[in-house]
């Protein structure tokens, strides 16, 4: 799980640097959908609090994340 969290956090930082306001971590980048709630919980513990599960994966609101980091 830690490897996924680190990878997602890196993707968020990269997307923020490129000016994106939202990122989708697609289902093919994630383990089974049953674990997505746990991943969102771990992301919140890592400071990524604005997540939403969708049919396609996990969406992360980068606008809120960027504001919290600044």
Query: What band does 68 get if pLDDT is binned at 50, 70 and 90?
Result: low
pLDDT beyond 90 at 3: no
* Helical packing angle, 36-45 and 2-17, nearest 10°: 70
Distance (Å, rounded) from C-alpha 59 to C-alpha 53?
6
Per-residue pLDDT tens over the stretch 17-29: 999 999 999 999 9
Nearest CA-CA partner of 8 in 29, 22, 27: 29
The per-residue pLDDT for range 19-64, each reduced to its tens digit, is: 999 999 999 999 999 999 999 998 898 888 899 999 999 999 998 7
- pLDDT at res. 67: 60
Distance CA(65)–CA(70), nearest Å, equals: 9
Side by side, which strands form the sheet with 22-26?
22-26, 57-61, 51-54
């Amino acid at each position: 799980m830690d490897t996924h969290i680190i990878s997602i956090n890196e993707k968020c930082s990269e997307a923020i640097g490129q000016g994106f306001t939202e990122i989708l971590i697609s289902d093919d980048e994630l383990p089974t959908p049953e674990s997505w709630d746990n991943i969102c919980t771990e992301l919140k513990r890592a400071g990524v609090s604005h997540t939403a599960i969708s049919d396609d994966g996990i969406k992360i609101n980068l606008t809120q994340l960027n504001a919290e980091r600044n």
